[in-house]
């Protein structure tokens, strides 16, 4: 379980138990339910990371779209609903070259406009052979707290935990022409376990 979930759950459960102790049992129900939900929501399951020259999904969720950008990059957008695991993973291993936070709106994360307009954290990872992959943690209508645990210069392994987003969100991954996309819109993916792209030249 993610540490943040323990804090949320402990606070809510403590408030509920206090109300029970005061004889206000009915009023404690929402607090107890929310505490139990937090224990489940902030789960952090182990995953088997595929080997080879591949990129894995950075999040659990549904592939909403695959878009060819004007920049020549291909963007895969993954929507996380409130029932998905919200721990984020790096799609490729390498050195973190850029980390940039962008304040923004809180549109519904499944909308296409969220990719550009919403609050987001942009990360660029450079692989051992110099290929760069960008991914974005994008806040949603409810999720207004993006957590990224890495720093510029960090060396990451494919599928390594790098943060989370709280209560619903979106992740975009942008690939250059070196990559062949292996997923389709509508497909469900699992963080660190589902291959979303393969290197063309390796």
Active site amino acids: 169
The pLDDT value recorded for residue 201 is 81
Locate 70 and state its tokens: 């004007």
C-alpha to C-alpha distance for 112 and 108, rounded to whole angstroms: 9
Compute φ and ψ for 129, nearest 5 degrees.
-100, 20
| Residue 39 reports pLDDT greater than 70 | no
The more confidently predicted of residues 191 and 4 is: 191
For the residues of 114-151, what is the DSSP string, one character each? HHHHB-EEEEEEE-TTS-EEEEEEEE-SS---EEE---
Eight-state DSSP code of residue 62: E
- Global pTM? 0.81
What band does 33 get if pLDDT is binned at 50, 70 and 90?
A: confident
The pLDDT value recorded for residue 173 is 97
| Residue 31 reports pLDDT greater than 80 | no
Summarize pLDDT for 65-120 with one digit per residue, the tens.
999 998 899 999 999 988 888 899 999 999 999 999 988 887 776 777 777 888 89
Locate 122 and state its tokens: 């942009």
Summarize pLDDT for 142-174 with one digit per residue, the tens.
655 788 999 999 999 999 999 988 766 889 999
In this prediction, what percent of the chain has a pLDDT beyond 90?
54
The more confidently predicted of residues 200 and 15 is: 200
What band does 189 get if pLDDT is binned at 50, 70 and 90?
A: very high
Eight-state DSSP code of residue 49: P
138 exposure class (CB count in 10 Å sphere: 0-12, 13-18, 19+): buried
Q: Which helix (H) or strand (E) holds 161?
A: strand 161-165
36-43: average pLDDT: 65
Distances from the Cα of 113 to the Cαs of 34, 94, 106, 124, 140, in angstroms? 31, 29, 10, 21, 11
Cβ neighbors of 121 (< 8 A, separation 6 or more) are 99, 100, 101, 102, 136, 137, 146, 148, 163
């Amino acid at each position: 379980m993610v540490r943040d979930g323990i804090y949320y759950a402990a606070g809510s459960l403590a408030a509920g138990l206090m109300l029970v102790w005061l004889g206000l049992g009915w009023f404690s129900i929402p607090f107890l339910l929310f505490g139990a939900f937090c224990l489940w929501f902030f789960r952090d399951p182990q995953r088997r990371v595929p080997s080879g020259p591949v990129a894995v999904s950075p999040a659990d969720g549904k592939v909403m779209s695959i878009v060819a950008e004007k920049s020549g990059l291909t963007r895969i957008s993954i929507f996380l609903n409130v029932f998905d695991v919200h721990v984020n993973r790096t799609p490729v291993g390498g050195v973190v070259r850029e980390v940039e936070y962008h304040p923004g709106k809180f549109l519904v994360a499944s909308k296409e406009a969220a990719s550009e307009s919403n609050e987001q954290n942009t990360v660029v990872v450079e692989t051992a052979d110099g290929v760069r992959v960008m991914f974005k943690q994008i806040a949603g209508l409810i999720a207004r707290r993006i957590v990224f645990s890495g720093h510029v210069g960090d060396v990451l392994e494919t599928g390594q935990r790098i943060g989370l987003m709280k209560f619903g969100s979106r992740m975009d991954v942008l690939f250059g022409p070196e990559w062949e996309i292996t997923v389709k819109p509508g497909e469900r993916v699992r963080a660190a376990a589902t291959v979303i792209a393969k290197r063309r030249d390796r």
